[in-house]
Structure 1
Amino acid sequence: MDPLLAGAGRPVLLRRGNPGAGSGPEKIPGGGPGLMAASHRERIERVLAGERPDRLPYAFWRHFYDQESSAQDLARAMVAWYREYDFDFLKVNPRAQYHVEPWGARFEYPGGPHDRPRQVTFPVRTPEDLAAIRPVPPDSGALGEQLEALRLIRRELGPDVPMVATIFNPLSIAADLVGSDATLVRWLREYPAAVEAGLETITRTFIPFAQACLEAGADGIFFATTTLATRNTLTEEEYRRFGRPYDLRVLGAVSSAWFNILHVCQENSMLYLLADYPVPAVNWAATSSTNPSLGEARARLGGKVLIGGVSHRALTAPDPEAALSEARRAVEETGGIRFILGPDCSIPTTSRPENLRAVADFARNYRW
């Protein structure tokens, strides 16, 4: 029987040992007599506390488009991905468009590992449609499936693997609901009251969903602004009105979590506009020349943990040297303090495994 289908009445994952997470302390090679490796949770906790960890922590994340259509498949894909590279935390990449399915959007999956789902129904076609949406319970439909996936993953990986659930900010969800950034931007400029009504409903839906993610086993949320918190899409004044108030309500509702991460996506990002958001860690495209570098952001982001340093270009390059060069530069810029090596964003499905393995080996073997 498939391990995911074992059990009475609902799917469970069978426990298996996981090196580096729950299998007991491991001696650090070259670390000196008696020095023991930290668990993944202990390592991340030390980084958040501003302490130098036993080694450089790292994590990468991606979609598995052909394995996302059920809670069981998604959990299986995330667990396999985590175990392949033994990351220091698992950022659960949910079904790509789960966040708009509660309001009737439907998608077809082409079936290939590199093929994003195609939207086939568009329930929000006018500003009035957006204003008319109503809150959805967190345990229903696609939202409930994502919660079940989190429970399955936590049951499989145990308590020592930090895990964060992906929550898109209300403005990003609204853009996906209406079909494009351009449409949402036009509506918020021409029909601001309708957009604000929709944002209110989305916020009232995702506050309890984010809280339910914590109850399902997540240690925090990965709060993503996607293509909205960038000057390529909106002005800062527009983001202050249509983005920030709703963002802060969602983040405030999960402030009890110990490992919330803010992801400010895209080039020309509004990273500094969001610098005071109440999260301990921030991820952005630090390798882009249009954004602050890790070193530049250190002074402006205070005591926050910085996550990133490795570009998509380097991860898809024909050999690992570009990724290794970026990893070395990231450590130099941050001094390795309050820093987790990671990507600019969710990595391409075409990222080369040998490049990822090289970066993982670099982090695992890095000693201060």
Structure 2
Amino acid sequence: MNKRERMKALFSNEETDYVPAGFWFHYPADYTVEQHLEGHLKLFRETDQDIIKLMDDNFGNLLTKGISIDKASDWRHIKLPGRNCVHFQRMEELVRKTVDQAGQEAMIFPTMWSPFKIASFTYVFGGSSDEKFMQHCKEDPDSVLAGVQAIADTLEDWAEGFLEAGADGLYYSGQFSEPGRFTEEEWEKLVKPFDLQILNRVHCHEEKYNIVHICGEAEHNFTASPQRYKDYPGDLFNWDVHRDNFTLEQGREYFGKPVLGGLDNHGILIEGSLEDIAGETHRIIKGFGKKGLMIGADCTVPADIDINRLRAAVMAAREV
């Protein structure tokens, strides 16, 4: 199997010749498209991993021009640019150039942040934007819904644009499921509909795939609630198995889909020896089995990590 065939088999929950693997980290926010391209291809070539996940590190305030959010009702007045947005154009260019240089070798998945995450970290309130945003969600959820809907509509169109540019799907960063942030009822009303809107757009296309990453933020001790994503239209699911108290085996049974992860990006990947990393990779695969598994980290690895650590895991996955 080549890398594309291997990932396609994984998404179909079919047997692969060996367990695929993939890792990623953030890049400086001021990187040009060419610098991003060079960085992503360097990681891909040096680790020989099985996919290319394109990071999205340049949001800043690109969606906030002319918009001021001071009170909850202001969310009703959001109007966002479509594909004319500089941010979309940069990401689309990165997708196209990556497809041109490596699309025959590997599947390519641009990152898409959830609309709720973009709402919280794009609009600057002064002080803690996340705290203020959560306050708005409690005070006037219907106004917040109107604003997040505008963001979701834009992202849905952007997702279509990335697919048109040659992406094989999305690496979707699901957010705001940290315990204590929202109740189940609030989650169902505020967050889930917009996630589904974007993910379902990808599945409108044949042989386009969703990798669903379930992310917990540092201020919430990196914990999330994977159980809230049970019926999401994902083809591969990733979460922090070391902090969410939810094993790979539990995830396989719960989601009924292939899973990604197993290696602690706060632990063995940065603290263990190369032999430790290889040994842990062997242990995970032998315990889980080869079918329906992609080796990776619980979340993004540190940007200054020694690439040899990641390569050790990629190579070890091929030995079992």
TM-score of the alignment, normalized to the shorter chain, above 0.5: yes
Counterparts of residues 287-298 of structure 1 (less than 5 Å): 287-288=242-243, 290-298=244-252
Q: In the alignment, what sits opposite 2:178?
A: 230
CA shift, 1:282, in A, is 0.6
| 1:1-38 residue CA offsets vs partner (Å, 9 max, x unmatched) | xxxxxxxxxxxxxxxxxxxxxxxxxxxxxxxxxxxxx1
Deviation at 1:87, TM superposition (A): 1.2
Give secondary structure in 1 for the equivalent of 2:110: strand
Residue 260 of structure 1 aligns with an amino acid whose one-letter code is N
1:310 maps onto 2:263 in alignment? yes
In structure 1, the partner of 2:289 is 335
Asked if structure 2 preserves the Cα contact closer than 8 Å seen for 1:285 and 1:344, the reply is yes
Q: TM-score, normalised by structure 2?
A: 0.90
Q: Which residue matches 2:57?
A: 95
| C-alpha contact 1:90 1:161 (8 A) present in aligned 2 | yes
Match of 1:19 in 2: none
Q: Equivalent residue of 2:209, what SS?
A: coil
* Whole-angstrom distance in 1 between the partners of 2:193 and 2:133: 17
* Residue in 1 that maps onto 2:157: 208
Q: Contact (CA 8 Å) 2:237, 2:258: kept in 1 or not?
A: yes
Task: Name the residue aligned to 1:116.
Answer: none
- Matched residues in 2 for 1:322 and 1:182: separation? 40
Greater Cα shift, 346-355 or 335-344: 346-355
Task: Tell me whether 1:299 sits opposite 2:264 in the alignment.
Answer: no
Q: Which moved more, 1:318-327 or 1:338-347?
A: 318-327
Q: Could you tell me how far 1:318 is from its partner in structure 2?
A: 5.2
Aligned residues: CA RMSD: 2.0
* 3-state SS in 2 of match to 1:101: coil
Picking from 255, 263, 275, the partner of 2:230 is 275
Verify the 8 A CA contact 1:138 1:206 in the aligned structure 2: no
Amino acid at match of 1:64: Y
The alpha carbon displacement at 1:127 in A equals 2.4
**Partner of 1:252 in structure 2?**
200
Q: Deviations over 1:218-261 (max 9, x none)?
A: 100011124x1221422222211110111111111111253211
- The 1-side partners of 2:112 and 2:25 are apart by 15
Which amino acid in structure 1 is aligned with residue 136 of structure 2?
A: W
Superposed displacement of residue 123, structure 1: 4.4
1:298-348 deviation digits (Å, cap 9, x = unpaired): 21111x110001111212115224433432332134212111001111111
C-alpha distance 62-263 of structure 1, shift in aligned 2 (>3 A): same
Question: Residue deviations 1:60-102, cap 9 Å, x none?
Answer: 0111216x5322221121112111111111111122436x512
Q: Is the aligned partner of 1:219 residue 2:181?
A: no
Task: Establish whether residue 243 from structure 1 lines up as the match of residue 198 from structure 2.
Answer: no
Residue range with higher mean Cα deviation, 68-77 or 237-246: 68-77
Question: Residues 282 and 317 of structure 2 are in contact (CA less than 8 Å); yes or no, is this contact kept in structure 1?
Answer: no
- Structure 2 matches for 1:178-193, cutoff 5 A? 178-179=123-124, 180-193=129-142
Runs of 5+ consecutive residues of structure 2 not aligned to the other structure? 217-221
Residues 268 and 80 (structure 1 numbering): CA distance in 2 closer, same or farther, change over 3 Å?
closer
After superposition, give the CA deviation of every residue in 1:242-301 in whole Å (9 maximum; x if it has no partner). 10111111111111253211111124422111111112111111232x330101222111
C-alpha spacing 1:126/1:178, structure 2 compared with 1 (3 Å): farther
Tell me the SS of whatever aligns to 1:260: strand
Amino acid at match of 2:236: A
Is 1:79 matched up with 2:27? no
Give 3-state SS (helix, strand or coil) of 1:103's partner: coil
Distance 2:255 2:171 in 1: 17
Aligned residue among 254, 265, 270 for 2:215: 265
Question: Equivalents in 2 of 1:253, 1:345: separation in Å?
Answer: 24
How far, CA to CA, are the matches of 1:40 and 1:77 in structure 2?
Answer: 20
Letter in 2 for 1:71: V
CA distance in 2, matches of 1:60, 1:130: 36
Q: Tell me, yes or no, if structure 1 residue 132 matches structure 2 residue 80.
A: no
Native 8 Å contact 1:308 1:343 kept in 2: yes
CA offsets 1:121-179 (integer angstroms, 9 cap, x no match): x9434324332111311242111111011111111113231011111111111111344
Q: Say if 1:135 and 1:202, in contact at 8 Å, map to a contact too.
A: yes
Answering whether residue 27 of structure 2 is matched by residue 64 of structure 1, we say yes
Gaps of 5+ in 1: 1-37, 106-121
Residue 19 of structure 2 aligns to a residue whose secondary structure is: coil
Letter in 1 for 2:138: R
Q: Distance in 2 between matches of 1:284 and 1:142?
A: 27
Q: Does 1:344 align with 2:306?
A: no
